[in-house]
Amino acid sequence: MKRIIELTEDGSHTLYLPELDEHFHSVHGAVQESMHVFINNGVNRCQQTEIHLLEVGFGTGLNALLTLLHRKEKVIHYYSLEKYPLTEEEFCQLNYAQNYSSETQALFLLMHKSRWEQQIEITPGFELTKLNCDLRTFDLSDLPAFDLVYFDAFAPGKQADMWTDAIFQKISRQCKPGAIITTYCAKGDIRRLLQKNGFAMQRLPGPPGKREMLYGEKDH
Ligand SMILES: C[S@@+](CC[C@H](N)C(=O)[O-])C[C@H]1O[C@@H](n2cnc3c(N)ncnc32)[C@H](O)[C@@H]1O
């Protein structure tokens, strides 16, 4: 699959997929979007000091890097599913870590270069398990129960089979009571599907350039 690196309006990179006519992030700002949807309305809202986190779509590793940088002493067990991993040529060009210390740049590369299907300690308090699999067929019940889910698949209009009742059911079953799910998507039918699968959903203001996003908490 051909992927093209592009700059978004906040100066951070994203990838464009011509085949789907889809970007990995908001063109208004990849880092801004990730900070708003996944950090401020995700990990920062989680009360636990030790968090089991599931990400749908490791992609550029942006959410993982920002989670590592903004976790505020929380211990994170980060599980990320990805069907089409980036190549080394692609991830080496990404500018997400370039304004940080050389240590952070090294951690970002380590996240990408670390082996798949293995639990790797990236830094004390942050453990990454990347799984090279297809969410549609992957058995989540082999993983621990989750406190937080970053649902960062391509948009429902481009990849409808990632936003189905069956997928939300298997994610919900793997979530602890009170677990948070957050996504950039604000569609009413997705909100209803998540609600049907046991999440109390809210529409929150979206990141710059997007009106709304969805946030939910698993029923107790
Ligand atoms: C919107 S992008 C976001 C990726 C990542 N969170 C980031 O910030 O770069 C969606 C990701 O889902 C991955 N993906 C697509 N289909 C998938 C599938 N069936 N199972 C797992 N991952 C998939 C894509 O390759 C892509 O990396």
Query: Is the Cβ atom of 138 under 6 angstroms away from ligand 1?
Result: no
CA distance linking residue 1 with residue 116, whole number of Å: 20
DSSP track, 117-170: TSEEEEETTEEEEEEES-TTT--GGGSPPEEEEEE-PSPTTT-GGGS-HHHHHH
Pick the CATH number of 29-218 from 3.30.70.20, 3.30.2130.10, 3.20.10.10, 3.40.50.150: 3.40.50.150
Q: Is 107 helix (H, G, I), strand (E, B) or coil?
A: helix
How far from chain centre, in Å, is Cα 214? 14
Q: What is the pLDDT of residues 18-63, one digit of tens each?
A: 999 999 999 999 999 999 999 999 999 999 999 999 999 999 999 9
From residue 182, alpha-carbon distances to 6, 88, 144, 186, 203 in Å are 25, 29, 19, 10, 10
Residues forming beta bridges with residue 121, ordered by sequence position? 127
In ligand 1, the atom with minimum distance to the C-alpha of 84 is 25
Find, among 170, 139, 191, 146, the residue nearest to 55 by Cα.
Answer: 146
CA distance linking residue 81 with residue 57, whole number of Å: 5
pLDDT exceeds 90 at position 150: yes
Residues forming beta bridges with residue 216, ordered by sequence position? 181, 201
Mutation test of ligand 1: which of 19, 20, 24 has the most ligand atoms closer than 8 Å to its C-beta?
A: 24
The residue behind tokens 């990400």 is 55
Mutation test of ligand 1: which of 27, 56, 87 has the most ligand atoms closer than 8 Å to its C-beta?
A: 56
Q: What is the pLDDT of residues 69-118, one digit of tens each?
A: 999 999 999 999 999 999 999 999 999 999 999 999 999 999 999 999 99
Calculate how far, in angstroms, residue 162's C-alpha sits from the geometric centre of ligand 1. Answer: 10
Q: Can you give the pLDDT at residue 1? A: 80
CA distance linking residue 200 with residue 156, whole number of Å: 20
